[in-house]
Amino acid sequence: MKCIVCEQPNQFKMVEVPLPSVQEGEALVRIRRVGVCGTDLHAYKGNQPFFSYPRILGHELAGIIDLIGQNDFGLQKGDQVSIIPYLECGKCVACRKGKMNCCVNLKVLGVHIDGGMQEYISIHPSHLVKTNGLSLDQSAMLEPLSIGAHAVRRAGSIKGEVILVIGAGPIGLGVMAFAKQRGAIVVAMDVNEERLKFCHRWAKVDYTLNALDDPIKNLSDITNGDLPTVVFDATGNVESMCNSFKYVAHGGKLIYVGLVKADITFSDPYFHSKELTLMGSRNATREDFDYVMSAVKTGKLDIESYISHRSSFDEMIERFKEWIDPESKMIKAIVEL
């Protein structure tokens, strides 16, 4: 079968490899769609944390079950599935508390171990979500959108609250959409005016702000001087993440959704004066996948508009070089197999 390997930063190679061996209890899935996300872009450029080369990228996956035995998940050959790419140990303190998304020994497909940029993958049925009735595109997009859904769930009750989402990339857009669905008043902030217009159209945000245009004053005007009670930073940008403390109201929450390969610094007196709650949000759970799937099925999320670029598997390497250029205006790219 064919697979695409990121051999080192800035270098992909298409290679032929044997079909994956299927261990007892596992399923063999034919990959049909692979989403491309910020993690893949960072890995290609050599600045993704917890990453080593060579690696097969790809963790936003949809496919068809080609082989499966008796299982407890109601899955059978021919079912369409989305793949939960976070492989937990099931034994550590996080797993014992039901937080498998931040397992001590977590292995993420396409990051810590080889992912789905290949024609077939073997995986345990517990990491498959049956998506019969969705399109393959919709199935592949459950994973990135689940990250946004998980972050919003971390925030707790936000109905009627003014919340700020910094970063209008694919993850930030998901945060905005799910915050709106949970009744929040949503402010989107970015430096890209086209992205901000898309936030209005796609996520139905209430306000947009350019981060270069006195955001403190504009946020103060929107909140009558209070500032947002919850701020999500989905940029993966160290400067933005350090600055985000100043956008949060006294007694509010700051939630880091994006990940950066750097240290975050802040003023402790300032942090304490506001009695802020600082939270991380990592990956997602099956509950989040189910929540997003329901939203897609009921038409609350427009996946067709969310996907801005696509290519065939054979053309992916050349297309990828175009996608990393900001001029491509990529929101979400998807690879078809």
Domain that holds residue 118: 2-141+307-336
Confidence of residue 206 (pLDDT cuts 50, 70, 90): very high
Euclidean distance between CA atoms 32 and 34, whole angstroms? 7
Whether 290 maps to a domain, the answer reads no
Residues 126 and 165 in one domain: no
173 within a domain of the structure (yes/no): yes
Domain annotation covers residue 199: yes
Instruction: Tell me whether residue 156 is in a domain.
Output: yes
pLDDT in tens, 12-30: 999 999 999 898 999 999 9
The tens digit of pLDDT for each residue in 80-105 reads 999 999 999 999 999 999 999 999 99
CATH number for the domain spanning 30: value is 3.90.180.10
State the pLDDT at residue 41.
Answer: 86
Residues 9 and 137 reside in one and the same domain = yes
Residues 130 and 157 in one domain: no
Q: Could you tell me if 159 and 235 lie in one domain?
A: yes
Q: How many domains does the chain have?
A: 2
Residue for token pair 């099956």: 286
Q: Quick one: 67 and 135 in the same domain?
A: yes
Q: Are residues 192 and 102 in the same domain?
A: no
Question: What's the rounded Cα separation, in Å, for the pair 279 and 152?
Answer: 11
Burial of 284 (0-12, 13-18, 19+ CB in 10 A): buried
Same domain, 122 and 172: no
Domain final residue, candidates 238, 261, 280? 280
pLDDT at 51 over 90: no
Provide the residue count of the chain.
337
Instruction: Report the distance separating Cα 16 and Cα 265, nearest Å.
Output: 45
Please tell me whether residues 136 and 159 are part of one structural domain: no
Q: Is residue 266 part of a domain?
A: yes
Q: Is residue 298 part of a domain?
A: no
Identify whether residues 168 and 261 lie together within a single domain: yes
Same domain for 129 and 166: no
Q: Which two tokens stand for residue 226?
A: 């209070």
Residues 65 and 99 in one domain: yes
Q: Which CATH number is 229's domain given?
A: 3.40.50.720
Partners of 94 in the beta sheet?
Answer: none
Closest of 112, 34, 335, 15 to residue 4, by C-alpha:
15
Average of per-residue pLDDT across 268-290: 96
pLDDT value at residue 321:
87
In a shared domain, residues 87 and 157: no
Boundary-marking domain end, from 262, 280, 298? 280
Report, in angstroms and rounded to the nearest whole number, the Rg of the chain calculated over CA atoms.
Answer: 20
Q: What is the pTM of this model?
A: 0.95
pLDDT at 336 over 80: yes
Query: How open is the CA angle 37-38-43, to the nearest 5 degrees?
Result: 105
HSE toward the beta carbon, residue 277, CA cutoff 13 A: 13
Given a cut of 80, is residue 192 above it in pLDDT?
yes
Alpha helices in the chain (DSSP H): 38-45, 93-96, 136-140, 142-154, 170-181, 193-198, 215-222, 238-243, 268-273, 286-297, 303-306, 316-323
Report how far residue 177's alpha carbon sits from residue 163's, in angstroms, rounded to the nearest whole number.
Answer: 12
175: in domain: yes
| Tens of pLDDT, residues 229-241 | 999 999 999 999 9
Q: What is the DSSP string of 162-206?
A: EEEEE--SHHHHHHHHHHHHTT-EEEEEES-HHHHHHIIIII--S
Evaluate whether residue 313 is within a structural domain.
yes
